[in-house]
A and B are shown apart, each in its own frame.
Chain A
Amino acid sequence: MSGIRRKPGVCGMVMAVILGFLVVSPGDAPAAEVYKVGGIFSITGPASFLGDPEKKSMEMAVEAINARGGVDGRMLEAVIYDSEADPTKAVNAVNKLIHKDGVIAIVGPSNTPPSLAVLTYAERAGIPLISCAAGIGITQPVKPWVFKTAQSDVLAVAAIYQDMQREGLRRIGILTVANAFGESGAQQLKAQAAQHGIEIALAESFGAQDTDMTAQLTKLRSQNPDALVCWGTNPGPAVVAKNARQMNLGMPLYQSHGVASPKFIELAGEAAEGLRLPAGKILVADLLSADDPQKAVLQDYIRSYAARYQQPASGFGGYAFDAVHLLAKALEGSGGDKQKIRQSLEQIRGHVGVSGVFNFSATEHNGLGAEAFVMVKIEKGKWALIP
């Protein structure tokens, strides 16, 4: 019990650490001349394939806007934090952005659970938030301050089912990754099946880090479906494609827009041949007809991203790229008034972005239509447009 006497010291230490943090943390001295825009992306962690290009695209978009003179003569400044796809970290980050950095709007988070976690904070503080996640629950029901730029799963599923109808496929098996992305995909696949005359024979799932999906594929094959839909993000779907090839599954395999990046072909190799998936137009930018409104924007984005980072661009970074440009448009003439930014965001029509053409309104905070997706297939290691 000799330690008792020293306890105040230990207790003081605890508090000293905490208070030290409060004092040491750099204070906020908002420069009046810049618009601070926050970003919350899963730069590391399991969703870094989203967050990393998003961070880079946001920085690139901000630089481009500043290079042409900023917005109303004021420069943009990006303050970006890493959420690691963790809702708690995202909540801390959103509070830091709003209350410490004093941002006027926030781009991100990259995934659905962190987005759902932070949106009440944005609502309470009255800060426009443009999420980059796919989940439909983010903008439906509509929340005044919350927008999103990523295409919803609803559209991706519709694109797949329309393609199946054209191909005459009726009975399908679905295989989804056991996380928020796969779950949302499975829900939409089930919800829209009836209206497209499609029957789901069996729904299975796999873990995001599983090394072998043969068991699931075997079970699906035993139901004799016409086709399979795999819903996940790299690397799982690439393993599914490989396993399907090894088992000579012999039925069309559809993938989701979660793998719509050049990386997928590299991972799945030969097994990627013949796969079909819905994708943003960015994958087939060069194949688009000259009168496609997005063609110029896409080619410009691809070129500048590759030049800036020596990496091929993907549609994922486009979510943040679009968000920043939408925000810049809404900022014009707002003088930094958040309510005005929110209102002008709602009034944006016909904004041509990387992910599609955005038409926001008071009741539509995602603003993308069915034409945001095209169906592509993989032929000889290249993306090909399915007409």
Chain B
Amino acid sequence: MQEILQYLFSGLTNGAIYAVIALGFSILFNATELINFAHGEFVMLGALCLVTLWSGLHLPLPLALLLSAAAVGGVGFLFQRLAIHPVRKPDHIVLVIITVGASIFFRGLGMLLWGKDAFAVPSFTRKASVEVAGAVLTSQSLVIIGTVGVLALVLHFFFRRTLTGKAMEACAISRRAAWLTGIPAQGMVLLAFVLSAVIGGLGGLIIAPITMCSYDMGTVLGLKGFCAAMLGGLGSLWGAVLGGLLLGVLESLSVGLINSGLKDATAFLLLLMILYVRPSGLLGNRSVQRF
């Protein structure tokens, strides 16, 4: 029992990370119907910026967090302006390949700026960990899980209650129609990019203390986040959160109950099964653009 609880804690921690990354995918998809394969690299950039600003320059933590998130947002802005916006005939697959190129570019840039070695970042809080019925939950795990909850609520509020959010949602439904009603569709796309990058960076910030940060950390995280977003249903906010948590818990339970070598295989197998039953994810309902 104590073990199961520990597996759950571990799964929720990992799952919350996947959820944050999945949220970034979903928001971007919502406004642009685009999957950004460089999203994992935003996570990496966030984490490594924090390394520089907090561990390197010893800025106060809140300031370092804010600046890092802003920096990644800036990168997202430039990325949209310089690489996505200029494409003349925006075919989905072309944009996807551009993001693949961008992910290689960002990884190379990360390697040049921060070197090839990994970095460790201390925990945000003093308190080391709490114990629940014999199972340990680190304080950073609580920070991560808390962040996901808050983030999801804020985004929910943003899309349901604010004009900008609704405008963005309108762009997602039909960019042309939204544009006709006077919504600056281009601006919304840009905003979605920046928002998604900031959320990716945020993912990097909160996981920095529990893992090691290096230029090549983004690929696997991006991949897992993508899976989580698909599992939950692309474009669905709560789907992303659910998908992430589910993927994390599935992974950690398959370590505990089956075999750690087959961890990813088990998770992917279940994911496929779910997709076969629900071809647009758990909470997704819109049919998705084809290539």
User: Residues of A at under 8 Å CB distance from B?
Assistant: 44-46, 48-49, 52, 178, 204-207, 209-212, 214-216, 218-219, 222, 234-235, 238-239, 242, 246-248, 263, 266-269
Contact = CB atoms under 8 A, between A and B. Distances in A.
Nearest to B5: A218
Contacts of B207: 211
- Greatest chain B CB density within 10 A among A48, A178, A205, A214 is at A214
Contacts of A234: 117-118, 212
A235 B3 contact: no
Contacts of A49: 116-117
- Which secondary structure dominates chain B's binding surface? helix
B27 to A, nearest CB: 22
A211 B14 contact: yes
Interface stretch (B62-70, B74-82, B169-177, B260-268): B260-268
A265 B13 CA distance: 25
22 contacts: A48-B111, A204-B260, A205-B260, A205-B261, A206-B260, A207-B263, A209-B216, A211-B210, A212-B13, A214-B9, A215-B6, A215-B255, A216-B255, A235-B211, A238-B118, A242-B210, A246-B128, A246-B136, A246-B138, A263-B118, A267-B120, A268-B120
B35 to A, nearest CB: 20
A215 B116 CA distance: 28
B232 to A, nearest CB: 20
A254 B189 CA distance: 51
Given A204-B255, A214-B10, A246-B136, A209 B120 contact: no
A200 to B, nearest CB: 15
B205 interface: no
Contacts of A216: 255, 260
A82 to B, nearest CB: 12
B188 to A, nearest CB: 33
Interface of B: 3, 6-7, 9-11, 13-14, 17, 111, 116-120, 122, 128-129, 136, 138, 207, 210-212, 214, 216-217, 219-221, 251-252, 255-256, 260-261, 263-264
Given A44-B111, A214-B252, A247-B6, 19 more contacts: A48-B111, A49-B116, A206-B260, A209-B221, A211-B14, A211-B221, A215-B11, A215-B251, A215-B252, A216-B255, A218-B3, A219-B256, A234-B117, A235-B212, A242-B210, A246-B128, A248-B136, A263-B118, A266-B120
B118 A267 contact: yes
A178 B9 CA distance: 23
Nearest to A208: B220
Contacts of B217: 209
Contacts of A205: 260-261
B139 to A, nearest CB: 10
B25 to A, nearest CB: 18
A267 B6 CA distance: 24
In this complex, which of A49, A211, A216, A268 has the most chain B Cβ atoms within 10 angstroms of its Cβ? A211
Contacts of B119: 267
B105 to A, nearest CB: 14
A46 B217 CA distance: 10
**Listed residue (B17, B128, B216, B219) with the most chain A CB atoms within 10 angstroms of its CB:** B216
B212 A238 contact: yes
A239 B217 CA distance: 13
B3 A219 contact: yes
